[in-house]
Chains A and B, each alone.
Chain A
Amino acid sequence: MLQDLANDNCRFTVDTRSDDRFLLEVRDLKKYFPIKKGFLRRVVGQVRAVDGVSFYIREGETLGLVGESGCGKTTTARCILRALNPTAGQILFRTASGQIVDISTLPERELRPLRREMQMIFQDPFGSLNPRMNLLDIVGEPLLVIEGIKSRKERSERVAELLQLVGLRPEYMQRYPHAFSGGQRQRIVIARALAVNPRLVVADEPVSALDVSVRAQVLNLMLELQRRLHLTYLFVAHDLSVVKHICDRVAVMYVGKIVETAPTNELFYHPKHPYTAALMSAVPVPDPRIRSAMIALEGDVPSPANPPSGCYFHPRCPFAVDQCSQEAPALEEISPDHFVSCHRARELELVGIGGRPGGP
């Protein structure tokens, strides 16, 4: 009964956006981890890993989620897949049948059919593949568990198709992960994620652990697969040049909050939040002729257990005024698709990537 009410409510709010292309919408998502102390393990505080995150992903697009370590981007990704149970907020997902469900509160039994629609690509292909399973078992496992394909022959046919899809030879099916290099292992991880024909793929730093010379192969594969299979990606990463290459839109996180969301070029060339601008200027550009553009931020990222007052960025912000330390800014849409959470977003003239205002 309650579930129905929630669903009705959601359908109503999404419809007000009058856009039926949303695949996922996250609203005010929160995930707090309790800090326990003493013999009685009393809760003495909360780590606000994710503290009011809102964004949406349209079908077939790639949303990049960037930020420094500890900003909560991985926790957000895990909440969306319900690997973690969120503390508060809504995660609205449009299923293949067109129904909108709130994943954040769904009981495990009702979540299971959704598992095939959302899959994950992990960061470290050396840790995410069981060394005792061969490729047939690794890639075939979701077919058995989720799709319920009991026949081994049928499974191996599907696995062969999947291996070909990601550019591996089907003959490798009997081999074990140790026989493969980092780039090939990441292809295996991708094949496993695609085994159940997901619509949303959450990729958590999928190329960070790979060597530079194989990174491009995996990025190309992800782009190709997206075009062929009409996939939607949530791409979690910290490497901004990779994000710029692969994403349609980017959301920037800082200490558990989204500070800015915008289409990729808009965000890179016309950032509106001082933190985004600082992040852009800190990227080492692989061109020795563009030096000295690096404007380093003072200080360190605050702890999400004890965040500053007002805007979380104000102690490091070069543009902070009194208001910033008192009031937390809201995430506002300042131009179509461009959301910023900054009191001074409309007045600041910030410099984008490469140190040039206004872009290339």
Chain B
Amino acid sequence: MQRIPTIEMNKPTTPILSVRNLRTYFKLEEGTVKAVDGVSFDVYPGQVVGIVGESGCGKSVTIKSVLRIVEKPGEIVAGEILFRPRGWSSNVSDQYIDLARLDPRGKEMRAIRGGEIALIPQEPMAAFSPVHTIGNQIIEAILLHQKVSREQAWQIAVERLREVGVPSPEQRMHTYSWELSGGLRQRAIIAMALVCNPSLLIADEPTTAIDVTTQAQVLNLLRSLQQYHNMAIIFITHDLGVIAQVADFVVVMYLGRVMETGLVDDIFHQPQHPYTQALLRSIPSIHSPSQVILPTIEGSIPHPFNRPPGCPFHPRCSEFMPDICDRHLPAVHPVNERQSVSCFLYHRVTETE
């Protein structure tokens, strides 16, 4: 069994979400795709956890598993997703619900999804229905989770739109999503995610589809909202710049596995895993000299069906150790008080495949 990395155990609070050894597989005719293969991380109240990784690393499937919206034929085959619902005492650690055991369509899960854990999806255009007004869609979300009248729901929706900086919110309530610009649409999505005061907000690449100046607006907004409401946020992105700007704690993923976890400053200034190191070296920095040849990572991300044995990164790794990395699967172990790494450079073989 894989050991659960003990992240910041000296923190006074208990995590609001603890994902432990999560495995989400897609069983297809051609074979099984291990989209998420033993992922563990904790999210503490008021913390912004950034999950960073390239395509196919399983970051989206991880959060879909948390929300229990993994499409067929994907299913959670192992692991726990421990969530502490609101109002429950924070010092008793066993008062968690294992979301992995809940019926995805059941009453409890539906109350948590949207009510306690909200999602900001990647595509604001696809997230809103084009045939209903913004107002009606936000009100629908409120009425689903709160016992309020329609008039009160209207007031809450207007208030939220104002809070996220939508100008003249009363009028915007009557507009359709396609009448709004990209930035306003993204703000409306954030307002809708916030209407039920979620304790955990999941942002799935919320700024990938929008421009840099709008991205800066949205990131600033998320930062201030997070501080004001003291929410926990899981922020998913492939953009290392965005992660550096918003996250407190970073989870680096590659091919369904956690490569490294740590505080954002350590990840960027003392990366331990060869993958994290190589990734940071290969991005052209604003301050690096121009037109020099960049250090690269050899090869490309393998197809999910041809997942290499052992450490998934070994065919591209500069520190590859024959007979170790290609035979055994490294587990995530702490390398110092703040960082954990899954790499045989830092610990001996403990787990075989």
Binding site for B on A (CB under 8 A): 68-69, 181-184, 211-217, 219-220, 223-224, 238, 240-242, 244-248, 264-265, 268, 278-279, 281-289, 291, 294-297, 300-301, 353-354, 360
Q: Verify if B335 is at the interface (C-beta below 8 Å from A).
A: no
Residues of B291-313 whose CB lies within 8 A of A = 291, 293-297, 300-301, 303
Bound-state Cα–Cα, A213 to B265, Å: 21
Question: Which chain B residue lies CB-closest to A278?
Answer: B213
Q: Verify if B220 is at the interface (C-beta below 8 Å from A).
A: yes
Is the CB–CB distance between A282 and B245 below 8 Å? Answer: no
B residues near A245, Cβ cutoff 8 Å: 284, 288, 290-291, 294
Smallest CB separation, A300 vs chain B (Å): 4
The 5 nearest A-B residue pairs measured at CB: A284-B241, A245-B284, A282-B216, A181-B300, A68-B211
Q: Say yes or no: A284-B296 contact (C-beta < 8 A), given A215-B282, A238-B212, A265-B290.
A: no
Binding site for A on B (CB under 8 A): 54-55, 181-184, 211-217, 219-220, 238-245, 247, 264-265, 268-269, 278-280, 282-288, 290-291, 293-297, 300-301, 303, 316
Is the CB–CB distance between A241 and B286 below 8 Å? Answer: yes
The residue from A220, A279, A284, A285 contacting B294, defined by CB atoms under 8 A apart: A220
Is the CB–CB distance between A216 and B297 below 8 Å? Answer: yes
Smallest CB separation, A227 vs chain B (Å): 9
Bound-state Cα–Cα, A241 to B242, Å: 13
Q: Say yes or no: A284-B219 contact (C-beta < 8 A), given A212-B283, A265-B290.
A: yes
B residues near A244, Cβ cutoff 8 Å: 284, 286, 290
Smallest CB separation, B287 vs chain A (Å): 6
Is the CB–CB distance between B301 and A288 below 8 Å? Answer: no
The residue from A242, A247, A286 contacting B280, defined by CB atoms under 8 A apart: A286
Bound-state Cα–Cα, A298 to B288, Å: 30
Is the CB–CB distance between B215 and A282 below 8 Å? Answer: yes
Q: Say yes or no: A284-B301 contact (C-beta < 8 A), given A216-B295, A268-B286.
A: no
Bound-state Cα–Cα, A354 to B294, Å: 21
Is the CB–CB distance between B54 and A288 below 8 Å? Answer: no
The residue from B219, B264, B279, B283 contacting A294, defined by CB atoms under 8 A apart: B219
Q: Can you give 24 contacting A-B residue pairs, CB < 8 Å?
A: A184-B300, A211-B55, A212-B54, A212-B238, A214-B300, A215-B282, A215-B283, A216-B295, A216-B296, A220-B296, A240-B212, A241-B241, A244-B284, A245-B284, A248-B291, A268-B286, A278-B213, A281-B216, A283-B212, A284-B242, A285-B244, A286-B285, A288-B269, A296-B217
Smallest CB separation, B300 vs chain A (Å): 4
Is the CB–CB distance between A294 and B265 below 8 Å? Answer: no
Bound-state Cα–Cα, A301 to B183, Å: 10
Q: Say yes or no: A211-B285 contact (C-beta < 8 A), given A241-B241, A286-B268, A297-B217.
A: no
The residue from A212, A223, A246 contacting B282, defined by CB atoms under 8 A apart: A212
Bound-state Cα–Cα, A68 to B210, Å: 9
B residues near A284, Cβ cutoff 8 Å: 215-216, 219, 239, 241-242, 244-245
Is the CB–CB distance between A213 and B301 below 8 Å? Answer: yes
B residues near A294, Cβ cutoff 8 Å: 216, 219-220, 245
Is the CB–CB distance between B216 and A182 below 8 Å? Answer: no
The residue from A68, A181, A214 contacting B297, defined by CB atoms under 8 A apart: A214
Bound-state Cα–Cα, A303 to B212, Å: 17
Question: Which chain B residue lies CB-closest to A281?
Answer: B216
Is the CB–CB distance between A211 and B301 below 8 Å? Answer: yes
